[in-house]
């Protein structure tokens, strides 16, 4: 059995944005001759999420609207009391981003069969940026043959 690790870096856009990383992961599998096994994709940040869903523009807007109703950006959060915390002066007020990331989750595990992700017809691997723009990193680990 082989184990292959990789950090996938993504430059994100402002605020709440979603990125389809499926093709980048598929290409990485091909480049590394990963044939059969399992791949784990994990966000390295507390204000991003990794999800599997349909990457369709109207659904993406629905996702943003839904989660921002659950954790509105302009609500009162203790985490946003920057002056009361031991943190850098340029720390953003981003409690809502942390809360949404916790609801969505930070990782996905996907079977790899015959060199490809075993996803359904409309499924994509999506990086969800909740506090951009930033340079983000996904830790990818393939285990198999």
Cβ within 8 Å of residue 129, ≥6 positions away: 12, 13, 15, 16, 17, 18, 19, 47, 48, 136
Among 103, 64, 96, which residue's Cα sits nearest to residue 78?
96
Which domains are delineated in the chain?
16-22+40-77+91-110+118-132 (2.60.120.460)
Q: What is the pTM of this model?
A: 0.95
Classify residue 114 as left (phi > 0), alpha (psi -120 to 50) or beta.
left
pLDDT in tens, 59-99: 999 999 999 999 999 999 999 998 888 888 788 999 999 99
């Amino acid at each position: 059995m082989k184990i292959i690790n990789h950090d996938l870096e993504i430059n994100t856009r402002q605020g709440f944005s979603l990125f389809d990383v499926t093709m980048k992961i598929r290409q990485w599998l091909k480049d590394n001759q990963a044939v059969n096994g399992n791949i784990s994709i994990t966000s390295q940040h507390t204000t991003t999420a990794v999800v599997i869903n349909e990457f369709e523009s109207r659904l993406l807007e629905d996702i943003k609207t839904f989660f921002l109703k659950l954790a509105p950006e302009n609500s009162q959060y203790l985490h946003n009391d920057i002056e009361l915390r031991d943190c850098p002066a340029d720390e953003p007020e981003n409690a809502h981003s942390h809360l949404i990331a916790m609801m969505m989750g930070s990782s996905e595990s996907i079977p790899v069969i015959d060199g490809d992700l075993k996803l359904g017809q409309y499924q994509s691997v999506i990086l969800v940026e909740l506090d951009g723009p930033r340079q983000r990193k996904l830790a990818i680990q393939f285990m198999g043959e």
